[in-house]
A and B are shown apart, each in its own frame.
Chain A
Amino acid sequence: MKNQRQLASQRWKQFLAAKTRMLTAYDLAKDLENNKLVKVRHGLVAEAEFRKWLSEFLPKRYAVTAGYIISPGISSKEHMVHYDVIVYDQLESPVLWVEGNPDSSNQGQSLAIPVEYVHAVFEVKSAFNGQFAKKQWTSFPS
């Protein structure tokens, strides 16, 4: 191996094609809702595209879904939180229920996953700016 300290490995631009694909779908969604008063579609497309890329990238042991994290320690009176992206152990975890949407593919379903099988949660947002978190963090203890 020549020059081991120089780590520009092969195919790094090809790997970035996944990023380009996600952004292309996102830009298309933004264009399509350009004249709408309420613009939510590009955010949904962003979440779906990120889930799609992550599920293709990760080893098949890990599954990626939108949905709910279910714990027996949380009272059923409390509202369930819907998460954009949950990574869970597909080999071990049961799926407690599936919340389908007649207009969407399996990729758009929301699954309910038991808490002990959840490895990660990602929150996906369209734009990075100071408004995205202000309200939510005011009651979060430091």
Chain B
Amino acid sequence: MDQLSKLKPLLARVDPRTSRAKMYLPANFFCATVFFELRKEHEKDFAAMNELVNATMIRRFYGGLILRAVTLEKYNSGKITFRNEDVNSEPNNNSSLSFWSTSKCLKYKDDQYFSLSLTFWEQHFSEFAFDILALLKNTYQPNVLSSLYCTGSTALENGSVIETRYADPEGYKRFQVETAAILKAKGFVGFEPSDL
């Protein structure tokens, strides 16, 4: 990520609002990566995730998109997602980059670690597009759908999965509370709304 690493001097700080001479990128600036394909010969190249995780140290690095994996159906795209966790998790590099993987963690500060995850799904191209729009409009929230437009997949259409990341964060919270209540009524214990 040659170009993104060279943004560093422009991200060192944010200009005061009153400053007439602007020298730095705006506070809501973001950056991301786009790859056109994951080739078959690179499906086990987990070093790629551990290299790219360095980009999480750039202010407002979103993650990225892989337009296709050559071994998957044509509608699938890969979404590289930024993760901020309080534990130093081991990378998931047992299967294939075209299935599901996570990078090693980088320690940002005490009990705060940055890492990346990569998943493939038919809906990821749409999610990426509308995440960009939300980032530009300052309405982006991680783990929440940025828009309901053009979100869909074969699995959603045939009913084998449901989408829980509502575009409306309040709606998503209601879903968590309702689902926790249903689970409790059915005798399951220990599920808090925030777990769902």
Using a CB–CB cutoff of 8 Å, the interface residues on chain A facing chain B are: 5-16, 18-20, 22-23, 26, 46, 50, 54, 57-59, 62, 69, 71-74, 81-85, 87, 114-116, 118-130, 132-137, 140-142
- In chain B, what residue has the closest Cβ to A10? B152
| B185 CB within 8 Å of chain A | no
Q: B52 contacts A133, CB within 8 Å? A: yes
Chain A residues with CB below 8 A from B1, complex form: 123, 132-133, 136-137
Q: B34 contacts A123, CB within 8 Å? A: yes
Using a CB–CB cutoff of 8 Å, the interface residues on chain B facing chain A are: 1-10, 15, 21-26, 28-39, 42, 45-48, 50-52, 54-55, 57, 66-68, 74-75, 77-78, 97, 106, 122-123, 125-126, 129, 132-133, 135-136, 145, 148-153, 156-157, 159, 162-164, 175
Q: Tell me, in angstroms, the Cα distance from A128 to B68 when the chains sit together.
A: 10
Given contacts A9-B150, A12-B150, A125-B33, 5 further A-B contacts (CB under 8 A): A20-B74, A73-B9, A122-B34, A128-B97, A130-B46
Q: B38 contacts A128, CB within 8 Å? A: yes
Q: Would you give the shortest CB distance from A119 to chain B, in whole angstroms?
A: 6
Q: Which 4 A-B pairs have the closest CB atoms?
A: A12-B152, A130-B47, A73-B23, A8-B156
Q: Tell me, in angstroms, the Cα distance from A121 to B11 when the chains sit together.
A: 12
Partner of B23, one of A72, A81, A119: A72
Chain B residues with CB below 8 A from A14, complex form: 150
- In chain A, what residue has the closest Cβ to B24? A115
